[in-house]
Structures are given as structure tokens and as C-alpha cells.
Structure 1
């Protein structure tokens, strides 16, 4: 197995939820649009349906990004698959279906792309979702060339479950604030990366991450001044909505 702490082959620029705000988030249409802008790594949000299918959805509820209502994880995939996940964004994407992790995996593998899967559990299903996402990723990327997906989460319980299920898959701890004990948690979860709100990154935090052997990633970076500051700090990954603004080779 590759030592992911010693080497880091993921692209620096990562398209948020497929193509940021240019397409309906977490759909295959967004991935296709992000790829058309030259992006080779994508971030997405993974949840568990009521019947055990790993599917893509950021919010707990379906209300904002589909024509459905209620908690997404309470519904079966057969019901979720019938929803329109595109009309809320724009008429050109009307009828776009929700995506499964399996469908996204096929897209990434066919196009030699990398993936950052954020484990986004329905509240109360942290352990079950971490296990399901890790098991699905382990199965879907088994024997595939290149690097496996990076599993990240704000929920340590989900990452712990993912580690138990598929310890060989790289993990990253997501932070919106530097809560007490975060470094000890990242170490206990054997994380290879720290993924922070971009405003948290400074020289002191970078030094702490490097001392711990952690790669440094930031979300969600949408203006050039913020991007330049992070690049000057030496960040390893920048998650952005602005796939139209930032050239992924920069």
C-alpha cells in the first residue's frame, strides 16, 4: 500500500460538489462540467439511503436541491432516484437525477479523476454511514489504478467507523473551528490530511499540521486574494466553487 503521508499525488485544485455553483451540486452533470473546465479532482457529499445505498446529498433534507421533501436518508433509493435534482439550479438542468457514489466512481475512473468523499451522515447515523461509505469506496476502487478516494468528515465517529471498515483508505478531518483536542483526534484516526475552513489557515496552523505529518487542505476558496494567501502558505489542496476562475494547473 502507498504511504500517503510520505507521498501526495492528488491534484491541488478540487472542484466543490462537482462544479461549484455552475451546475446542480452533487450531480453527474456537475462532475461533467467541472471536468470540462480541466478539473481532475472533485469533492462530493455522501449519505446513506434508507435501504443502504450511498448517494450524494449535502443537506439533511431534500428541500433545497431537489423537488422532494423531508430527510433524504429516510427514503429508499428507488424513491430518491425519481427526484429532479436539477430544476432548482436552472432550466438547462431540469430533470437531472440524483447521483450514487457508484455512478460517480464510474465517472472518475473512466476519466482518470480523483475524488474527495465527504462522509455527511444523517444525524444519528454517523457510524453506519462511515462504515457504508468506506465499504462502498473499498469495493468500487478495488484494483483500480491511481490513488483511492480521500475520505473526510466533520464527524469523528464517522471517520472512526470508516477506519475500522477500510483502514487502507486515506482519511482527513474536516474543521470549521479549531475545537479543543482536534489534533489528538486527527492522530487517533490516523488521518493523512487536515481540511479546514480557509480562514483558519495561518503559518502557526500550517506548522502544527506539518509537525503532525498532515497534508493541508482548505475549503471553500472563491476569490483570488484568498487563494494566493493559501498558495503562499504552501497548502496541498484548495476546494473551490470557482471552476471558471481558477485554472486547475496553477
Structure 2
């Protein structure tokens, strides 16, 4: 039996998909301009243990820095330009802390899916720290963030630190025992690559009391098929294509 689901169906990937520099407050603001009320982001730890937003393990693709991001204190990371790679209009956009994103979402009554994206070797600790900070930041809020990860170790750390904050297992393939793993971790949802879903998998997921979410859904035909299957959430880059009110 599934519990009531408090989150919107449509979720903006990394803030505003590809229309703004991903995982920045600028991207969140742009996604909100398109009417989105829930966002997905990636969180990892700086060397001094501060959760901040970045997808890659390294800095090169989305900042003007180089090297493994988790090997720098946040004071150093805060000086990086995380916007110029996307265009001159975004020059100087900083890497945000999870706290700054949380405060933005809470002030605007937005919902958040935090993907725990650990630097390799820091899976358990990243899960613990991100979950503990999420629990603190959303203390007293009606709807907590949804924590997700491809790494079961990170979800185990999150459960240890903040068992009441909901968790979801991310899957890019259906590896042996994955659904049982999600059940053992107390997950409330599976977040699958959208091509993995079929009627049987949706039914099995719902039958275990979990919700079925998809990433990254960027065309209308795929979205229609997933909605017809009865899936519960769609993460998209195309905030300009899909109306979250639909």
C-alpha cells in the first residue's frame, strides 16, 4: 500500500535542465519562471565537509577550476565561476551550498530532490552528512526533501543519519537484487532511467509500496507513455516544453 505522495509530478532537472548553468541558484530561478515547483540537484562534500551542488567529480566541465572537487575546502570552491561555461550572461555564477538552495526552496515553498553524488570513496559519509543537514534545514517543514542516489552505501548513510527523511534508489539498469535492495533500505521510490519502465515494473514497484519516477524525460511521446503506465514523477531538462501544471 503506497502512502500519500506529497511531491509534484514534474521535476526540473538540475534546476532548469539545460537552459541555465546546472546546479546553480540561477538555474533554480529560471526553472521557477517556467512554473516548476520541484527541482532535482546533485550534492557532494567539500574537503571540509560542506554539502554543495555539483554533478561531476571534477570541476572542469562546469566551472573554471580543475581537479577533484571534493579535494578542496568550500572557501576555495566558492571562488569558482560556475556560469561562464554556459554563456556570458551567466558569468560569475557561484557553486551554491546545499544550505543556500534549501533556504531558497523553503522561502518559496518549492520541493527538492537531492541526489547524493559522492566523490568516489566517500559514499557512506556523504549520505550521512547530506541527510543530517537536510533534516536540520527542513526541520518543521511540512514536506521534507527526497534524497536519492545510485549508491546504496550513500542511502544507507542517509538512513543512519536521518531515517525520517525519505529516500529513493536511482537505477540506470535493473541489476540483480536492485528492487530488494531498495526495499531493505526503506526507500519510498525507485527513480529509473525512463526506458526501463514497463507495466510489470510499475506494478511491482507500486505493489511494494514505492513510487515510480523517471529520468530524464525530454520528449512528449516518452512522457505520454510513462504517464499512461501510471508512473508518479518525471524529471526533465525540457522545462520549456512541458508545463508542470499539466
| TM-score range relative to shorter protein | over 0.9
Deviation at residue 92 of structure 1 after TM alignment: 0.5
2:83 aligns with: 86
1:160 lines up with 2:156 in the alignment: yes
Deviation at residue 233 of structure 1 after TM alignment: 0.7
Q: Give the alignment of 1:1-250 within 5 angstroms.
A: 5-144=2-141, 146-250=142-246
- Aligned-partner Cα distance in 2 for 1:71–1:223: 33
Question: After superposition, what is the alpha-carbon deviation per residue over 1:133-177, rounded to whole angstroms, capped at 9, x for unaligned?
Answer: 001101100112x21000000000000010011000000000000
Structure 1: gaps (5+ residues):
none
Moved over 6 A (4+): none
- Aligned-partner Cα distance in 2 for 1:184–1:204: 16
State the aligned residue count.
246
Structure 2: gaps (5+ residues):
none
Deviation at residue 27 of structure 1 after TM alignment: 0.2
Please say if residues 193 and 215 of structure 2, whose CA atoms lie closer than 8 Å, have aligned partners that are also in contact: yes
Give the TM-score normalised by the residue count of structure 2: 0.99
Deviation at residue 5 of structure 1 after TM alignment: 4.1
Please say if residues 2 and 206 of structure 2, whose CA atoms lie closer than 8 Å, have aligned partners that are also in contact: no
- Aligned-partner Cα distance in 2 for 1:91–1:126: 35
- Aligned-partner Cα distance in 2 for 1:23–1:214: 32
3-state secondary structure, aligned to 2:85:
coil
Deviation at residue 234 of structure 1 after TM alignment: 1.1
3-state secondary structure, aligned to 1:227:
helix
When structure 1 is superposed on structure 2, of 40-49 and 204-213 the one drifting more is: 204-213
- Aligned-partner Cα distance in 1 for 2:156–2:123: 9
Give the TM-score normalised by the residue count of structure 1: 0.97
